[in-house]
Amino acid sequence: MALINPGSTLTLSLGERSYPIHIGPGLLSRGELIARDLAQPKAVIITNTVVAPLYLDTLRCGLEKQKVAADAIVLQDGEKHKNWLTLNQVFDELLELRAERKTTLIALGGGVIGDLAGFAAAIFQRGTPFIQIPTTLLAQVDSSVGGKTAINHPLGKNMIGTFYQPRAVLADTDTLRTLPDRELSAGIAEVIKYGLIGDLEFFDWLESNMDKLIARDSEVLTYAIERSCRNKAAIVARDEREEGVRALLNFGHTFGHAIESGLGYGQWLHGEAVAAGMVIATHVSRQMGLVSAEAAERTVSLLRRARLPVQGPPLGLDRYLDLMGHDKKVEGGKIRYVLLKNIGEAFISSAVPPDVLAKVLTGEGVGAA
Ligand code: NAD
Ligand code: GLY
């Protein structure tokens, strides 16, 4: 019987550390895609209390068929647990399970699990192999690809972490069926980001297909994941450690991270904060005369159609500036902003006039399109 959608495999090219990104349905049970990357037939799956009842058994069964013994560590769910305490729980359990340096850690979950498990893998016994199995749209299009790992600090989002690449990424599109609508939209924020920063054709396609994407049309969803991963893999291959072009992937994130930590982790979803952050960055670009009113309107309109917030919360100018000062993109005390020249054309600048920032962050830009 022919498969309707057999999926595809992209490669993130990083020399000897290159790895496959498998995208398609039914991948969770394809233990052979994982077994071939293992240094020993032993793995520890790191997941959470929401994802484990949905997908842990399927993954484990597929691995058992390949004679891989897989233990599991099941963490509490949520961004507010992406911290030292949870990381330490992972190390306690890994040691109790007698995990070794060649035991592969498998992240099964959204970006919170992926970032935290990746960081654990990077520093447990000075580095153990690691595989990403992202189960949210956001994780499939962004966080599982590219090797950024981190936990949060109360003073700043993702402040403690490393670059540490996985050996493989398996994005099983079937897992998105159980994703809540709000989480789907949050993932679409990062999808739209790729169009805005460097892929006008994709942005046009998203304008034509947003209703189908929201309705989870499987062809449209799979194409959006593939194109997003292709965009991300190309950027990371050029600039793994964010010394240049990779910083564009942070479009909207300086403001978004301020929103997330300012409101308390988990109040707004990461993708929601990024959506509002991208609107704020677009308003700043507009106020500086960089981007046209039409392009700004198209940006806001597409985010709105994705059911995402298009204004930030009124944290107050001083609070925004204080929170943004803790961003990782601060260099020599100066914030490096990602701004928009046009749809598909973003760039980095530290030269945002304070009066423009003040205007945008105190209502006009935060509040209106
Ligand atoms: P998340 O990991 O909190 O997942 C969202 C929610 O969906 C959680 O409750 C989760 O348990 C649940 N869930 C996961 N898969 C599910 C499924 N298939 N069905 C039903 N529920 C499911 O959030 P996220 O949006 O996936 O990731 C956000 C995190 O990713 C943030 O911490 C952000 O900083 C990080 N991030 C990292 C990078 C990177 O490059 N490393 C990039 C973007 C975002
Ligand atoms: N999500 C931003 C990056 O991976 O660089």
Whose CA is closest to atom 21 on ligand 1?
179
Measure 23 CA to ligand 2 centroid, in angstroms.
Answer: 19
Identify the DSSP state of 326. Answer: T
Measure 366 CA to ligand 2 centroid, in angstroms.
Answer: 24
pLDDT digits (tens, 9 = 90+) for 105-137: 999 999 999 999 999 999 999 999 999 999 999
Q: What share of the chain is helix, strand, coil (3-state, %, to 5)?
A: 50, 20, 30
Measure 235 CA to ligand 2 centroid, in angstroms.
Answer: 9
Torsion 133-134-135-141 (CA) sign: negative
What number does CATH give the domain 8-178?
A: 3.40.50.1970
The residue type found at 116 is: L
Ligand with the closest atom to the CA of 177: 1
DSSP 119-139: HHHHHGGG---EEEEE-SHHI
C-alpha–C-alpha distance, residues 61 and 23, integer Å: 20
Q: How far is CA 206 from CA 20, 129, 177, 196, 228, in A?
A: 25, 36, 20, 11, 11
pLDDT at residue number 367? 46
Whose CA is closest to atom 3 on ligand 2?
249
Q: Which tokens hold the place of 303?
A: 């985010």
Ligand with the closest atom to the CA of 158: 1
Whose CA is closest to atom 2 on ligand 1?
110
C-alpha–C-alpha distance, residues 170 and 43, integer Å: 15
Torsion 127-129-133-139 (CA) sign: positive
C-alpha–C-alpha distance, residues 88 and 100, integer Å: 17
Q: Establish whether residue 168 lines the binding site of ligand 2, counting it when its CB lies within 6 angstroms of any ligand atom.
A: no
Q: Which tokens hold the place of 122?
A: 């990077």
The residue type found at 129 is: P
Q: What percent of the chain has pLDDT over 70?
A: 96
C-alpha–C-alpha distance, residues 36 and 25, integer Å: 19
pLDDT digits (tens, 9 = 90+) for 176-222: 999 999 999 999 999 999 999 999 999 999 999 999 999 999 999 99
Q: Which atom of ligand 2 is nearest to the CA of 147?
A: 4
Q: Which of 14, 142, 190, 254 to mutate to test the pocket of ligand 2 (most atoms within 8 A of CB)?
A: 142
pLDDT at residue number 202? 98
Q: Establish whether residue 82 lines the binding site of ligand 2, counting it when its CB lies within 6 angstroms of any ligand atom.
A: no
Q: Write down the domain spans for the chain.
A: 8-178, 181-361
Measure 138 CA to ligand 1 centroid, in angstroms.
Answer: 6
Pick the CATH number of 181-361 from 3.40.1160.10, 1.20.1090.10, 1.10.3720.10, 1.10.3470.10: 1.20.1090.10
Q: Which atom of ligand 1 is nearest to the CA of 139?
A: 26
- The pTM score is 0.95
Which pLDDT band, with edges at 50, 70 and 90, does 3 fall under?
very low
Q: Establish whether residue 139 lines the binding site of ligand 1, counting it when its CB lies within 6 angstroms of any ligand atom.
A: yes
Whose CA is closest to atom 2 on ligand 2?
249
Measured in degrees and rounded to the nearest 5, phi and psi for residue 67 equal 65, 35
Topology agreement, domain 8-178 and domain 181-361: no
Identify the DSSP state of 308. Answer: -
Catalytic residues: 126, 148, 190, 232, 242, 246, 250, 253, 257, 270
First and final CA of the chain: distance in angstroms? 51
Q: Which tokens hold the place of 302?
A: 């597409």
Q: How far is CA 9 from CA 20, 97, 133, 143, in A?
A: 6, 33, 14, 17
Q: Establish whether residue 109 lines the binding site of ligand 1, counting it when its CB lies within 6 angstroms of any ligand atom.
A: yes
Kindly state the average pLDDT of the residues 169-177. Answer: 98
Q: Which tokens hold the place of 335?
A: 């914030």
pLDDT at residue number 326? 79
C-alpha–C-alpha distance, residues 25 and 8, integer Å: 10
Ligand with the closest atom to the CA of 144: 1
C-alpha–C-alpha distance, residues 124 and 111, integer Å: 19
pLDDT at residue number 135? 98
Q: Which tokens hold the place of 174?
A: 């079937």
Q: Establish whether residue 142 lines the binding site of ligand 2, counting it when its CB lies within 6 angstroms of any ligand atom.
A: yes
Strands 42-48 and 69-75, sheet pairing: parallel
Q: Establish whether residue 175 lines the binding site of ligand 1, counting it when its CB lies within 6 angstroms of any ligand atom.
A: yes
pLDDT digits (tens, 9 = 90+) for 226-271: 999 999 999 999 999 999 999 999 999 999 999 998 999 889 999 9
Ligand with the closest atom to the CA of 48: 1
